[in-house]
């Protein structure tokens, strides 16, 4: 019933046959699903949160929802069902992640609004919508994973990181510091992925980075909860 077919000259998971069903990259599928399930749990926790809520709370909440959907899509459309689907199906996860990045960027801008001039805040708001409007079509029309990677870099490194650091310097709310530290930590799974550092075919750079990004999401969540408790 079960049959494993190695992929020659590749660090990708071997294909698993379950009867006549071809399951590509099974461990990568499962580690993507792990991140998706954790993000869904975090979204539901925030959805049912009864404590103090800042103006940005809703955007942080939907950040986790969009990433849950994105990682679920990546699990099956991007990996597990690729024997039956074309490359373009991967783009669904890319686009969903863009909606997630937009939410956390908007949340950060709402948090910092009172500390910036009106003109600067408007400029940054317009900037992130331009980023979204440019990046999504690029993802749709090009088969290049470097585009969603660039989008995440623009969101986290050029906008969220400096603004969250500025927020911590002004408010001393540890939630912002946690988010800063978590973004810096993301350089580790990013480096593992880009350099394809793998333990074996069964736990490769995809799988390692997915597990580490699950940890990333949990720490972002801890930061959001502390921000809400102002």
The answer as to whether 5 is a domain residue is: no
pLDDT at position 50 is 87
- Distance linking the first and last C-alpha atoms of the chain: 56
pLDDT at position 208 is 98
pLDDT digits (tens, 9 = 90+) for 36-73: 999 999 999 999 998 888 999 999 999 999 999 999 99
CATH of the domain at 164: 1.20.1070
The answer as to whether 215 is a domain residue is: yes
pLDDT at position 53 is 87
Assigned token pair, 180: 């800063």
CB 102 within 8 A of CB 143: no
The answer as to whether 2 is a domain residue is: no
Asked whether residue 1 carries a pLDDT value surpassing 80, the answer given is no
The answer as to whether 87 is a domain residue is: yes
pLDDT at position 144 is 94
The answer as to whether 111 is a domain residue is: yes
How do beta strands 15-18 and 2-5 pair? Answer: antiparallel
pLDDT digits (tens, 9 = 90+) for 121-160: 999 999 999 999 999 999 999 999 999 999 999 999 999 9
pLDDT at position 5 is 62
Domain count, the chain: 1
The answer as to whether 19 is a domain residue is: no
Buried b vs exposed e over 122-159: b needs ≥16 C-beta within 10 Å? eebeeebeebbeebbeebeeeeeeebbeebbebbbeeb
The answer as to whether 201 is a domain residue is: yes
The answer as to whether 20 is a domain residue is: no
Q: Which domain holds residue 73?
A: 26-228
């Amino acid at each position: 019933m079960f049959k494993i077919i190695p992929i020659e000259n590749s660090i990708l998971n071997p294909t698993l046959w379950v009867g006549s069903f071809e399951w590509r990259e099974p461990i990568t599928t499962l580690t993507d699903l792990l991140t998706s399930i954790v993000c869904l749990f975090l979204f539901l926790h925030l959805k049912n949160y009864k404590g103090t809520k800042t103006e940005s709370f809703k955007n942080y909440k939907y950040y986790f929802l969009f990433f849950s959907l994105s990682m679920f899509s990546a699990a099956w459309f991007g990996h597990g069902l690729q024997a039956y689907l074309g490359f373009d199906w991967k783009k669904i996860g890319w686009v969903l992640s863009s909606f997630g990045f937009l939410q956390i960027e908007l949340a950060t801008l709402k948090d910092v609004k009172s500390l910036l001039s009106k003109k600067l805040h408007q400029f940054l708001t317009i900037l992130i919508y331009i980023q979204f409007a440019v990046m999504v079509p690029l993802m749709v029309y090009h088969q290049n994973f470097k585009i969603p990677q660039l989008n995440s870099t623009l969101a986290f490194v050029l906008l969220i990181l400096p603004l969250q650091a500025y927020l911590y310097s002004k408010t001393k709310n540890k939630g912002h510091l946690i988010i800063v530290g978590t973004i810096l930590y993301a350089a580790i799974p990013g480096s593992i992925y880009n350099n394809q550092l793998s333990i074996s075919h069964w736990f490769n750079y995809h799988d390692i980075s997915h597990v580490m990004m699950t940890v990333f999401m949990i720490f972002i969540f801890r930061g959001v909860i502390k921000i809400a408790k102002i």
